Amino acid sequence: MSADELPTDVGPMQASHGGVPDWLAATLNYCSRCGAALRFGRIEGEDRERLACESCGYIAYVNPRLVVTTLPVTARGEVILLRRGFEPGYGLWAQPGGFLEIDETVSEGAVRETLEEIGLVVEPGEVVGLYSRIEAAVVVLAFEARIVGGEPRTSEEALEVRAFRPEAIPWRDIAFRTTTWALRDWLRLRHPDLYPLGERTLEERPEEPGAES
């Protein structure tokens, strides 16, 4: 199906492979090199339809962004979560994290975001998992992390910061599926005896699209 054959209420970028999420496609209208309009369609040498500039030939590749997060674990084996103070997921629990900046490593980004959001200095350890949220165009990396300094505190991004015993994780009030997956994988890694607890309450809740940070 070509973009021209699509019904008008379907964005042209949804033509193949599910395409780019609507909210993201809506931000990609003009060539960032020359300012002319971008057009979605077949490009010679490309294996899928792309957004490209008809004026200068620039191809606007659209790829997921990486969100780096930590599961800070206390000396007593509790995992620290924050209650989000912003959308998406306002009022629900998630791990600290945010978008990786272009000039930092994944560990540096995870340390920076954790400090900014909850005031803890952490040392990232094992990678618990790497998870795709296609509707939000992100890939979420979750480190287990040791707390090496700082004091837990709230911030604009965290209404509340709390340590949860592994058996007391608030499964029904988790903000994102990726958080549920990370916590579930952490349980499987560190508390295999509790692992079915996370599994049994895993909910595939419909989520708001958009960026998480």
Residues in contact with Zn ion by CB under 5 A are 31, 33-34, 36, 53, 55-56, 58
Task: Give dist(CA 25, CA 39) in Å, integer.
Answer: 11
Q: How far is the CB of 36 from Zn ion (least distance, A)?
A: 5
Q: Which is nearer to Zn ion, 31 or 140 (CB)?
A: 31
CA angle 103, 36, 24 (to 5 degrees): 55
Residues near 144 by beta carbon (within 8 Å), at least 6 away in sequence = 70, 71, 73, 124, 125, 126, 127, 128, 186, 189, 190
Q: Which is nearer to Zn ion, 29 or 132 (CB)?
A: 29
Q: How far is CA 148 from CA 45, 115, 125, 126, 205, in A?
A: 50, 11, 12, 15, 34
Q: How far is the CB of 98 from Zn ion (least distance, A)?
A: 31
Of 197, 191, 161, which Cα lies nearest the Cα of 77? 191
Q: Which is nearer to Zn ion, 58 or 99 (CB)?
A: 58
Q: How far is the CB of 55 from Zn ion (least distance, A)?
A: 5
Q: Which is nearer to Zn ion, 55 or 154 (CB)?
A: 55
Q: Which is nearer to Zn ion, 34 or 134 (CB)?
A: 34
Q: How far is the CB of 53 from Zn ion (least distance, A)?
A: 3
Of 28, 170, 15, which Cα lies nearest the Cα of 92? 170
Q: List 133's β-bridge partners, or say none.
A: 138
Q: How far is the CB of 64 from Zn ion (least distance, A)?
A: 23
